[in-house]
A and B are shown apart, each in its own frame.
Chain A
Amino acid sequence: MVGKMVDVDELLSFADTIVKKAVARGADEAEAFVSSDTTVECQIQGGILTTREGVDEGLGVRVVIGKSVGFASVSSLDEKQADEVISKALSLAKIAPEDPKFQQLPDPVKRGTRSGIFDETIMKVDSASLMEESAKIVQEAMQTDKRVSYVYGFSGLDYGTFGVVNSRGVGSGDKNTGIGAGIYLKAENNGEVKLGYELVVSREHRDFEGVGENLAKNVIGYLGSKPLESTFEGTVIFENKIVDELFSEFLGYSVSALAVQEKRSFFANKLGKQVASKDLTIHDDPQLHEGIKTIKCDHEGIDVLQKPIIKEGVLKNYLYTSYTAYIDNVESTGNAIRSGFQGLPRTAPINLTIRGNKNLEEMVSEVEKGVLIREYVMGLGHANIITGDFSIVAPTAFLIEKGEIKHSLNTITIAGNFFQTLKNIQAIGNDPILTQNGKIPTIAVKNLTISG
């Protein structure tokens, strides 16, 4: 199971047969998406060790009859199962009402793109070495300080291929490798509890030495916190991993052409307008060399496109799949991403990148009164994604006064609006971290309501 892989050409030829069959059986247009993914994972949670590995393969078929679309999938690359899936997709398309906005499956778009890093050595890593890796991370953290009271360490790898073929001549696919490790830990002292996490991801094989120790040291540093006992308007410095969550959540949604066309995005009618501070430039860079999600083509087989989303504060581009692109009469930006063979394409950024020029010390020195928040916040996932209103809880924060960090704080809350936040950016850090969402730095934002 480990160490072998179905190649892209095999998948493409299988997908091609499916498409031809679907057309022969009455589809006006057809598309087959086929994937094969191998996962190996190991986690140690407070001493309990579990591993998991397996192969996940399957096929998703989209067929069009007139302006009606049907989709069906099965977790198998078996021909008999595939025939059943074609039948099911066809019968759904026959009874589905027309979607008047649907125009066609995509025609091929070639942009001379390339694949991301593919590291074959990852395919040779087995569950035994991941267990050792996870054990090492946990041990490092536990040994750092006796106040570390709970550790959850994990590591995992995946590799896989996908291929997508449609009846309009699209036939493209790609492959990927990835390895990662993470840790979540708790430090306790006299009833005070602080938490932290770290997640390190890479497309190339690497070790994770120091990950456990660094995090343990950071979290120990949050102990001895004091209550804020006030409410004020000030600057919040969001650590890069929090920015990663905040931006991927709000931006990913708002720049989707579908959300814009359906008037449920704050960015509707704002193309070419100033939506953020002049200092902010955000790209979607699907060709980022080390990018975790870097790909040659999207999951509709369309070559990806590097583009600014916001340039010097001005909204430059929406993200398109073929469906929304044909509605606006533009070319797809290659942002159709599926959750696997079971999913239809959805609009998603591939690698969000933001550049900044300040180190943390400089950013802190520019704050008259505010807080630095680290690790994670609660409540982001449930902020109002349309209006941008959020009210988040930050359990790990430091008070900043007159350009200096004073002390660690008890849990505080921060209320504001994401889109106002974009305009109120005070500084951007030069410390981007590589994540599943791209490469994201620390950001300082003024005029937020801080209370605790």
Chain B
Amino acid sequence: MELSELEEFVDLALGYGAKIGVPFIEVRLEDGSVGEIRLEKGEVKESKALRDIGLAVRVIYNGVSGFAFTTRLKKDSVEKVVEKAFQAAKVGDKITALRLPFADSEPVVDNPHIPPIKQHPKNVSFEDKREMVMRAYESAKDYGKSVASIIVRYGEAYGAKIVANSEGTRVKWDPWTVEIVCMVISKEGEVLADAWDRHGGSIGLEIFEGHFSPEQLGENAAKWAAEKLVAKKVPAGRQRALADNKLTGVLAHESFGHQTEADLMISGAVVLKDRMGEKLGSENVTVVDEGVYEGDNADIYRGWWCPHDDEGVRAEKVVMLDKGVFSSSLNSRGTAKYMGSKPTGNARALDFRFEPIVRMRNTYFTPGDMSFEEALELLRDGIYAIDTFGGQANFDGNFMFKAMRGYLVRKGEIVEPLRDVAITGNILDFLKKVEGATRDFELHGGYFGGCGKGGQGPLFLADGGPKLLLGGDGVQFGGEM
């Protein structure tokens, strides 16, 4: 079935909603394809192709939403979904303590074309993709030391989406993302060391050449894992630090970004709930969330291409933190009216099984004007922390992130590698300590990973920034006695 054939179900749902007297109905139809290749120890362990088609209906009744979905694309099932959503909204209307009626918005009719790329994953053969994965593996094997395991994964997702509502909005677009990850585990005696390199986003497969070639990704992961075999544990305590682009990206999203999501501000979940306009950080920090990144190297660092949100709203560029001042929140149509601001195009759903909630798209710290060398020189003595294996951030602003690796820096020079680089702190404290930013900028997204808010994960998105110099009395690094 083609999307054009499926579009009749959108009209069917809208028509049925009007027939049973639904005041506002929003219909979303998705037809997504997913492909994955996983290779371990030189053997392709998994190759799979998934197709995910379904329909979502949301009804807004007196500012209360009702949501239902189905994978059964048949007339009676679609009508039942509309009834269920309406029913839920009517019951919710009697119970709820808080209403979020939609901000007024002109109907949006749009069908944005994807940015120019040379090789869309749907036009590249499975054999070629398998070849890329094999090349990363061979390279990791060549450069590795005491290798215990090599895992290479390729993932792609693409498809078509229609969002339409009873006000006349009808938006169609074709989101996509790809990623290659190479992970190497080295082992000597009882010491295990792991490292990865990866690249991805809404990019063409031609980007996996040169700097991001499978060979380079494999070589990097292998060399870094080998290096960690002999690395010392990070000394515990407060230290000045330089956080690299990937690590700052995660901080931008996890630690700060969620604080600015209007639904969390309204419900009182986050510490920034009533601090709009306050100066929270140093002059050197500006944080942005935008739907379509069009800056330098956008063909490489496009992150997640998100021209509209799942309410059909055009994606705006939002500056949440402007030179340290908390200046804007991220909004859906429901939260915008309550907050007295405008919808920003941040209402997103994981897939048709979920209703849109306020989510980020491409979130980053803006770059500064230092070179890497100048940043190390200014750091003097401290820790250069790189990339992350993940972490956690709480609504109270506290966070803990595990950098993938790091280096001890003395007198502005990199001295030796470190492992188990865990950083803890509070974002409000962190923002005040930023003494500067480098001018190199990266935005990282891709198929693997993503945000898990509200049980809707992993949601495709991207984050990034420059390298940030963290001074003051330093940040807290973990470690054993």
Contact = CB atoms under 8 A, between A and B. Distances in A.
Given A57-B72, A150-B267, A75 B149 contact: no
Interface string A64-104: 00000111111110101100110011001001110111000
Contacts of B80: 1
A270 interface: no
B232 interface: no
Contacts of A379: 391-392, 400, 402, 422
**Could you say which of B77, B149, B392, B401 has the most chain A C-beta atoms within 10 Å of its C-beta?**
B392
Contact of B149 (A56, A132, A149, A264): A264
| Chain A interface size range | 35 or more
Contacts of A150: 267-269
A389 B233 CA distance: 11
Contact of B269 (A45, A73, A75): A45
A132 B43 CA distance: 52
B266 A393 contact: no
Nearest to B64: A49
**Could you say which of A55, A71, A131 has the most chain B C-beta atoms within 10 Å of its C-beta?**
A55
A149 B45 CA distance: 49
Given A262-B41, A262-B149, A378 B392 contact: yes
Interface string A231-273: 1010000000000000000000000000000111000000000
A195 B393 CA distance: 13
B355 A411 contact: no
A99 B355 contact: no
B478 A52 contact: no
**Could you say which of B54, B73, B398, B422 has the most chain A C-beta atoms within 10 Å of its C-beta?**
B422
A395 interface: yes
Interface stretch (A21-29, A164-172, A380-388, A400-408): A380-388
A47 interface: yes
Nearest to B191: A387
B92 A263 contact: no
Interface string B42-60: 0111111111111000000
A369 to B, nearest CB: 15
Contact of A132 (B46, B95, B396): B95
Interface stretch (B83-91, B196-204, B369-377): B83-91
Given A127-B88, A264-B149, A101 B267 contact: no
B88 A88 contact: no
**Could you say which of A49, A85, A96 has the most chain B C-beta atoms within 10 Å of its C-beta?**
A49
A381 B398 CA distance: 16
Contacts of A74: 50-53
Contacts of A78: 73
Interface string B385-423: 000011110111011111000000000000000001010
Contacts of A127: 66, 84, 87-88, 91
A80 B71 CA distance: 15
A391 B403 CA distance: 12
Nearest to A89: B49
A48 B71 contact: no
B96 interface: yes
Nearest to B37: A96
A381 B73 CA distance: 38
A391 B234 CA distance: 12
Contacts, number: 220
Given A55-B71, A264-B185, A72 B95 contact: no
A436 interface: no
A128 interface: yes
A73 B48 contact: yes
B117 to A, nearest CB: 24
Interface in A141-193: 149-150, 152, 186, 193
A422 interface: no
Interface residues of B, number: 78
Contacts of B100: 48
A87 B77 CA distance: 27
Given A379-B402, A381-B392, A152 B95 contact: no
Contact of B98 (A47, A73, A395): A47
Contacts of B34: 342
A54 B392 contact: no
Interface in A1-36: 1
B192 A71 contact: no
Given A233-B481, A264-B149, A48 B269 contact: no
Nearest to B194: A386
A149 B268 contact: yes
Contacts of B355: 50, 52
A16 to B, nearest CB: 21
A413 B400 CA distance: 10
Contact of B402 (A56, A135, A382): A382
Given A45-B269, A378-B394, A386-B185, A393 B400 contact: yes
A46 interface: yes
Nearest to A1: B80
Contact of B398 (A54, A135, A262, A395): A395
Contact of A131 (B70, B92, B187): B92
Given A262-B41, A393-B424, A449-B481, A71 B46 contact: yes
B299 interface: no
Given A344-B46, A344-B48, A382 B390 contact: yes
B81 interface: yes
B267 A51 contact: no
Contacts of B394: 195, 378, 395
A196 interface: no
A140 interface: no
B365 interface: no
B441 interface: no
A53 interface: yes
A441 interface: no
Contacts of B1: 80-81
A188 B47 CA distance: 50
Given A54-B68, A74-B50, A263-B149, A99 B45 contact: yes
Nearest to A262: B149
Contacts of B185: 264, 386
B164 to A, nearest CB: 19
Contacts of B269: 45-46, 150, 152, 186
A97 B420 contact: no
Contact of A97 (B43, B65, B84, B263): B43
**Could you say which of A75, A186, A381, A411 has the most chain B C-beta atoms within 10 Å of its C-beta?**
A75
Contacts of B98: 46-49
A387 B480 CA distance: 14
**Could you say which of B47, B52, B92, B127 has the most chain A C-beta atoms within 10 Å of its C-beta?**
B47
Interface string B175-198: 000000000010100011010000
A58 B92 CA distance: 30
Contact of A75 (B64, B71, B97, B187): B71
Contacts of B73: 76, 78
Contact of B192 (A48, A97, A387, A413): A387
Nearest to A416: B480
In the complex, the 4 A-B pairs of residues with the closest C-beta atoms, listed nearest first: A46-B267, A47-B98, A54-B69, A391-B478
27 contacts: A45-B267, A47-B96, A47-B98, A48-B100, A48-B266, A49-B95, A54-B353, A55-B70, A57-B72, A69-B46, A71-B46, A74-B52, A75-B52, A76-B73, A81-B51, A85-B51, A127-B87, A131-B92, A135-B95, A186-B395, A193-B396, A195-B396, A263-B148, A263-B149, A378-B398, A382-B392, A411-B398
Given A96-B44, A149-B268, A387-B191, 20 more contacts: A1-B77, A45-B263, A47-B97, A47-B98, A47-B266, A49-B95, A50-B355, A52-B68, A56-B353, A75-B52, A76-B73, A92-B47, A95-B130, A101-B43, A193-B396, A231-B481, A263-B148, A381-B390, A382-B390, A386-B185
